[in-house]
Chains A and B, each alone.
Chain A
């Protein structure tokens, strides 16, 4: 199961990269080769369609540290990968339970663009977790755009805290 998820993600990545050669943006990170999992380097999403929304359940927030993003970017940074590894091993260890990944942006930029950017951040996190073998049907994405900042300031200190992916564990 794990192998299949991983292989599928890498295959999908390779197919997309092969099919869109000239459109590809230069990766900003320094990763290469097998690290080209969805969400990490090229940020090619589309590995698979999203599964139907799962039923609401008891939600736990704050169990995992948020992952942070650069301005206008949905790329998973090197510094954030260990946080995602922790989320993945939790999900692997729990037979049941689902995850909502919430994508958030800082206050700059248009409201509607930030909704799309926040969704890409959540999808990048989802793609990374799927790449680690988590069943995509257990993960839902939810963009909050710039609507739910955690830091209320109007400078980079606050902005960098607001550009984040948060994890809600659903039992």
Chain B
């Protein structure tokens, strides 16, 4: 019996993050999939039950860890049932090893029939966690910028692209959305009052308040992991620079001083001690980091013509877009070792990466033939998959934490 351990494979690749170790089991190596036999899972023909089963299966495949096998062929068996009666949905899920019979998960999921998708996402994440030790992304949510109303507005969707809803009705230009660490608000840039200002919008109520409307440019708002400070790009002193605003007292601290350069795209390190950002100080936009309290910036990138749009993941790696051979491609970098890996390489442009909560996937905007859609890029070798590819152009995805 093979009992390779996920985190060994992963640490062997040089990753800083280890999944929860307790129940970590079964697998072969990064990029290879575990066969999952769902044939014994019974869903009643009711629409909600069928939707639960389909959503669950799609989520498990999208997670990258599993391939669905024919009956009797899987290393892992998923059985149980899902029934709908009187407007409520009851699912029972059991996951066990095909040969040893070891049980990974046995759980009941009751809900109303209207919640079949949400329930399936939860079950999928539980299964992924139990079998691989990794957090799943199926229950995740994204904010995006879309232009299908002709204005650029913010939209929300689920991890599988479903439940697309429009969040803003500004009829303006909305840009650079980023979630608050508690996932309740989204900070973004809007021209609602004709100039680029930073706003924060409450996702549940849609109520909005202004965060920064100084003269000149206000953009790049990003809350620190503890939500006590917000990084911003402001030009109030005569040039775009990175600032930190204390959210309690409102005091502003300017972190960068580069009268000959533009700064953009601040993003906090997971521990909140550093900020990665873009500066064109060297003549082309490159990535730098700086302490939250200022001081001397450190240049991170020199490879490639341009390196932009950094997103510092909870796993310690920074995802960014790098101009390679005339195209933007998604790369990830370990800032401690400076190791860089390029994840995309086809003829399209991949921009604006955002780490998924599973620490394995990255959502980004993919532009091909002058159309932009949201794609999911895998750090373990699976090909990019469309996440949201409906009418209109889609940009700047950001995963809820």
Contacts and interface: CB of A to CB of B under 8 A. Distances in A.
A47 to B, nearest CB: 6
B397 interface: no
B77 to A, nearest CB: 46
Contacts of A106: none
Interface residues of A, number: 40
B362 to A, nearest CB: 15
A112 B309 contact: yes
Interface in A44-79: 44-53, 56, 72, 74
Interface stretch (B6-14, B108-116, B134-142, B256-264): B256-264
Nearest to B220: A112
A50 B237 contact: yes
Contacts of B265: 110, 112-113
A46 B238 contact: yes
A109 B262 CA distance: 13
Among B217, B240, B280, find the residue whose CB has the most chain A CB atoms closer than 10 A: B217
B158 interface: no
Nearest to B326: A108
Interface in A16-70: 16, 20, 23-25, 42-53, 56
B89 interface: no
Given A49-B237, A50-B235, A115-B264, A109 B352 contact: no
A77 B321 CA distance: 30
Nearest to A45: B239
B93 interface: no
Contacts, number: 129
Contact of B262 (A24, A49, A120, A127): A120
Contacts of B175: 111-112, 115, 145, 147
B217 A16 contact: no
Interface in B287-337: 306, 308-309, 321
Interface string B156-185: 000000000000000001011000000000
Interface residues of B, number: 44
B275 interface: no
B356 interface: no
B309 A110 contact: yes
B386 interface: no
A25 B217 CA distance: 24
Given A49-B236, A72-B284, A123-B238, A115 B219 contact: yes
B235 A123 contact: yes
A119 B235 contact: yes
Contacts of A147: 152, 173, 175
Contacts of B308: 109-110, 112-113
Interface in B205-253: 213-217, 219-220, 233, 235-240
Given A119-B216, A123-B239, A25 B370 contact: no
Given A45-B239, A48-B238, A143-B196, A110 B278 contact: yes
B74 to A, nearest CB: 43
Contacts of B196: 115, 142-143
A20 B152 CA distance: 40
Interface of A: 16, 20, 23-25, 42-53, 56, 72, 74, 109-113, 115-117, 119-120, 123, 127, 140-145, 147, 154
Given A20-B260, A23-B258, 18 more contacts: A24-B260, A42-B260, A43-B260, A44-B259, A45-B238, A46-B237, A46-B259, A52-B215, A109-B285, A109-B308, A112-B175, A112-B278, A113-B265, A113-B309, A115-B217, A123-B235, A140-B215, A142-B195
Interface of B: 152, 173, 175-176, 189, 194-196, 213-217, 219-220, 233, 235-240, 258-260, 262-265, 278, 280-281, 283-285, 306, 308-309, 321, 351-352, 370, 395-396
